[in-house]
Amino acid sequence: MSDNDLIDLREVAPAEVGEIDLYQRREKIYTRKIEGFYQRVRLFSGWPLLLGYLLLPWASWDGRQAVLFDLPARKFYILGLTFWPQDFPMLAFLLMIAAFGLFAVTTFAGRLWCGYTCPQTVWTSIFMWLEQKTEGSRSQRMKLDKAPLSPEKIAKKAAKHASWLFIGLVTGMTFVGYFYPIRDLVYELVTLSSGSWQYLWTLFFTLATYINAGWMREQVCKYMCPYARFQSVMFDHDTLIVSYDSKRGEPRGSRKRSVEHKELSQGDCIDCQLCVQVCPTGIDIRDGLQYECIGCALCIDACNSVMDKMQYPRGLIRYTSEHELAGGKTHWMRPRIISYMLVLSVMVGVFSYNIVTRVPVELTAIRDRNQLFLTADSGAIENIYTLKLANMDNDPHEFDISISGIPGASIVGETRHALEGGEVRTITLRVSVEPGSLARPSTELDFRAVSPDSPSLQATAESRFMKPL
């Protein structure tokens, strides 16, 4: 793809403004409530994720919390699986899959993630709904902010911020509950018996939610989120984006419904500003594609409601592509989309295979370097080793330790060990070898740990056996 095929996202400023001061005071955005098809879609896309976030820590699995990232124990419990620090490469691979998935969705349909499932969008929508319930409609909120201080104003503002803080507290406790057993956390917080770290992190995430969703809102999307800055390299002229059909809408102008606007040489846009009033980032979509647009489709529902009242066809603002706006057709199956699909399929297949074939046992062997070797009374050469055997399964297992690589080598010490689920045991043992079996001063030696009740649970570790020169 050439550079000419990429869409250039631009900052749109009023004609009389030469430049935008990034340090200017923020002008509060008063959004108007709107309902429509895409807002129902956002409802069904956002609420399941929100409920999943809030309820998942309370679910149990085999007598423990279903999802718990136990950092002190260095164990991550996810449903029936237990992940250890050794499994971090799998986590990194999973993040790569998520990134490629986001790139693929963005190439196909723009910022769907931002508009429908991003936590910032979901929580901001909740805070905006609470604001509307406590302070009223858009015009009522504007009048309330301009009105002098009064008991009514204080009561409404207090109710709004109290509801915001409550949602922030629930969000903060839930997030901490992913890293600390949530049932213990809630009990300890309520009874004031929790540790200082639990209070600190709960307070931190409570305030973070309160500030991000209540006060900063669109500034997080416009200035803090890097996704808005590099999305242009993923857009092309076939990407579905929220767009205003200027050929149909211009020239815009107000008119009565009974007046035939074609006779007045006007387009379908009546310049009602409703698309601007519902936008959570405060942009005018009629000025063209802008990086601030999060693809939430509020302007589409607002414009469609006006088109219905004016008895005009819907779709003046719609999801469409640059090619379609120019009179062409959208190419759905194009090389970039096919490439993303192939790469994602391979990555998901490899990740799934690693999960299915993952063996929850690990063995490491370290030879004692303080004493290279010992000579027994029988004349045999002995080396001392420290083994670390980790049973990463949730169930207890017995493991038999064996060695290979040197003919006639034997283990001096206990060779069968019973480990509880999630136990890591340090084992010290000696390996005895007759001198005649050693051809070199240093010989490779392999340790193997096998569970007799489940032979698939086995691990190997490599070390060296030393003898006198």
Contact 176, 185 (CB under 8 A): yes
Q: How far apart are CA 173 and CA 58, in angstroms?
A: 12
The per-residue pLDDT for range 376-411, each reduced to its tens digit, is: 877 888 899 999 998 888 888 999 999 988 888 888
DSSP-based three-state secondary structure for 376: coil
pLDDT top residue among 360 and 18? 360
Q: How far apart are CA 228 and CA 457, in angstroms?
A: 46
Please tell me the predicted confidence (pLDDT) of residue 1: 47
User: Vertex 454, ends 448 and 455: CA angle to 5°?
Assistant: 45
Q: How far apart are CA 246 and CA 260, in angstroms?
A: 19
Per the listing, tokens 């416009």 go with 222
- Band (pLDDT 50/70/90 cuts) for residue 21 is low
- Going from the N-terminus, what domains does the chain have, and what CATH number goes with each? 31-83+118-233 (no CATH), 361-466 (2.60.40.10)
The per-residue pLDDT for range 417-460, each reduced to its tens digit, is: 999 888 889 998 888 888 877 878 888 889 999 998 888 888 99
Least confident of 65-79, 249-263, 304-318: 249-263
Q: What is the mean pLDDT of residues 294-302?
A: 93
Q: How far apart are CA 140 and CA 36, in angstroms?
A: 22
Question: Residue 230: which residues within 8 A CB-CB, separation 6 or more?
Answer: none
Per the listing, tokens 């001063």 go with 441
DSSP-based three-state secondary structure for 362: strand
Q: What is the mean pLDDT of residues 111-123?
A: 90
Phi first, then psi: give them for residue 80, nearest 5 degrees. -90, 5
Please tell me the predicted confidence (pLDDT) of residue 24: 59
Give the CA distances from residue 463 to residues 158, 187, 372, 453, in Å, rounded to whole numbers and listed in that order: 67, 49, 13, 26
Least confident of 5-14, 37-46, 449-458: 5-14
Straight-line distance from the first to the last Cα atom of the chain, in angstroms, rounded to the nearest whole number: 65
Contact 258, 310 (CB under 8 A): no
Q: How far apart are CA 224 and CA 95, in angstroms?
A: 20
Bridge partners of 411?
431
At residue 175, does pLDDT exceed 90? yes
Contact 464, 443 (CB under 8 A): yes
At residue 45, does pLDDT exceed 50? yes
What residue ranges in 23-128 does DSSP mark as E strands? 60-61, 64-65, 67-70, 75-78, 81-83
Phi first, then psi: give them for residue 388, nearest 5 degrees. -120, 115
Give pTM, 2 decimals: 0.80
At residue 297, does pLDDT exceed 60? yes
User: Vertex 121, ends 119 and 126: CA angle to 5°?
Assistant: 95
At residue 15, does pLDDT exceed 70? no
Angle of helix 37-55 relative to helix 119-135, nearest 10 degrees, comes to 110
Please tell me the predicted confidence (pLDDT) of residue 166: 96
Please tell me the predicted confidence (pLDDT) of residue 152: 94
- Band (pLDDT 50/70/90 cuts) for residue 272 is very high
Per the listing, tokens 């000696």 go with 430
Question: Residue 388: which residues within 8 A CB-CB, separation 6 or more?
Answer: 362, 363, 364, 366, 424, 425, 426, 427
Please tell me the predicted confidence (pLDDT) of residue 413: 81
Question: Residue 12: which residues within 8 A CB-CB, separation 6 or more?
Answer: 283, 284, 287, 288, 290
Please tell me the predicted confidence (pLDDT) of residue 261: 67
What share of the chain in percent tops pLDDT 70? 94
Question: Mean pLDDT score of the chain, rounded to an integer?
Answer: 87
Q: Which H or E element spans position 466? A: strand 454-466
